[in-house]
Amino acid sequence: MAAHGHDVHGLDLSGAMVDLSMKCVPTGAFTQADMLNYTPQFQNNTPDFDVIFTIFSLFCLSREEMNTMASKMFSWLKPNGLLCIGTICAEDFKTTPSMYDADKLCATNVEMMFMGSKCSSMTAFTKQGWKSLIEAAGFEIMHTKSDLFTPRPSTSIASDDEMHYFIMARKI
């Protein structure tokens, strides 16, 4: 995006990811912070983000925290701004009925193998759960797409195949 003249601002909890991002996008501005406690500094307190990408970064949040983040991202976008989410839906994980909330829109304590590590205690919405969350925050879903990601075979690093789910929504 930066190579095409767009201003890029990145946010990550991991200092290593911020350092890597600064090396890859030297013209970008990057901040190490917890997204739940982050407040962008806008001129005249007017939101000025055209697009927000949140790619596989929400699994660590609780359902309540995801609701908070959806509202925060809405407040950071300009009118008609775009929210682009990359995630994996609950129905694409190995889940049991007991993992789902009463309304069946969200599962907790979801597990997966990622880059050789077992990730657990993750939160995952169903496709309907994402729709409900995003629309309740004030967005209109414009497009969704599912795509199977199969990691390169490796004898040293175990990773699961992942059914990625992408959502593009517009602030209304």
Note down the domain range covering 54: 34-89+126-171
- What is the pLDDT confidence band of residue 83, given thresholds at 50, 70 and 90? very high
Mean pLDDT throughout 29-53? 90
Evaluate whether residue 149 is within a structural domain: yes
The CATH number of whichever domain residue 60 belongs to comes to 3.40.50.150
Evaluate whether residue 103 is within a structural domain: no
pLDDT at 50: 94
Burial environment of residue 74 by CB neighbours within 10 A (0 to 12, 13 to 18, 19 or more): buried
At 93-151, the pLDDT tens digits run 999 999 999 999 999 999 887 767 788 889 999 999 999 999 999 999 999 999 999 87
User: What's the structural domain count of the chain?
Assistant: 1
Mean pLDDT throughout 51-74? 94
Contacting residues for 122 by C-beta, under 8 A, at least 6 apart:
59, 60, 108, 109, 110, 111, 112
Evaluate whether residue 145 is within a structural domain: yes
pTM score, whole prediction: 0.89
Evaluate whether residue 65 is within a structural domain: yes
pLDDT at 117: 76
Evaluate whether residue 23 is within a structural domain: no
Evaluate whether residue 157 is within a structural domain: yes
Evaluate whether residue 70 is within a structural domain: yes
Tell me the average pLDDT of the chain: 92
Evaluate whether residue 77 is within a structural domain: yes
pLDDT at 46: 84
